[in-house]
Structure formats: C-alpha cells, structure tokens
C-alpha cells in the first residue's frame, strides 16, 4: 500500500515537473519571438529614420541648387547693369566732345 502511494506521489511530482519544464520552454520561446519582433521593429524604425535623413539631404541639395541659381541670375543682372553704365559713360563722352 505504501509503495503504491510512493509511486503515485513520484508520478505526480514527475508530471508536475515536466509541466513546469514545458511552461518554461514555452515562455522562453515566446520571449525569444518577442525579442525578435522588437529587433525587427527597431530595424524598420532605423530604416525609416535613414530614409527620412536621406530625404532631408535631398531637400538641402535642392535648396542649395536654388540658391546657386539665384546667385547666377544676380550676377547676370549685375553684368547687364555694368554694360549699361559703360554705354552711358561712352554716350556722355561723345556728347561732351
């Protein structure tokens, strides 16, 4: 009788320990999958951040190009003004003489 009780208790403890082992394994696998998801999320966020950075650089480049274009236009206008001034000076000299 005692042997049967001992065997039953041993069976119970072994089944509970195996359950515990299964639970631990399940928890570990779920936590690892969770960490994988987090890593993927972080990776996606980093990619998005890099893309945003790239867009900002492109916008800056466009801005610089526009500034250069404006500067060229200004230089062109200055040259025209200088030519006009020279022409006026020549006319003045002609009228004086």
Question: Cα 67 to chain center, whole Å?
Answer: 27
Least confident stretch, 24-28, 47-51, 63-67, 71-75: 24-28
Cα separation, 27 vs 21, in Å, equals: 10
pLDDT in tens, 33-61: 777 778 887 878 888 888 887 788 888 88
**Would you state the pLDDT for residue 10?**
72
**Would you state the pLDDT for residue 58?**
82
Q: How confident is the model at residue 63 (pLDDT cuts 50, 70, 90)?
A: confident
**Would you state the pLDDT for residue 97?**
60
Say which residue the tokens 């000076």 belong to.
Answer: 89
For the chain, the domains span 25-96
Residue 78 predicted with pLDDT over 70: yes
């Amino acid at each position: 009788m005692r042997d049967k009780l001992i065997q039953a208790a041993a069976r119970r403890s072994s089944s509970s320990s195996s359950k515990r082992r299964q639970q631990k394994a399940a928890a570990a696998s779920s936590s690892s999958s969770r960490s994988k998801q987090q890593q993927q999320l972080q990776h996606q966020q980093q990619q998005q951040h890099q893309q945003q950075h790239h867009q900002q650089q492109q916008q800056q480049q466009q801005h610089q190009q526009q500034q250069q274009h404006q500067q060229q236009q200004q230089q062109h206008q200055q040259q025209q003004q200088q030519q006009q001034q020279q022409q006026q000076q020549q006319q003045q000299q002609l009228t004086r003489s």
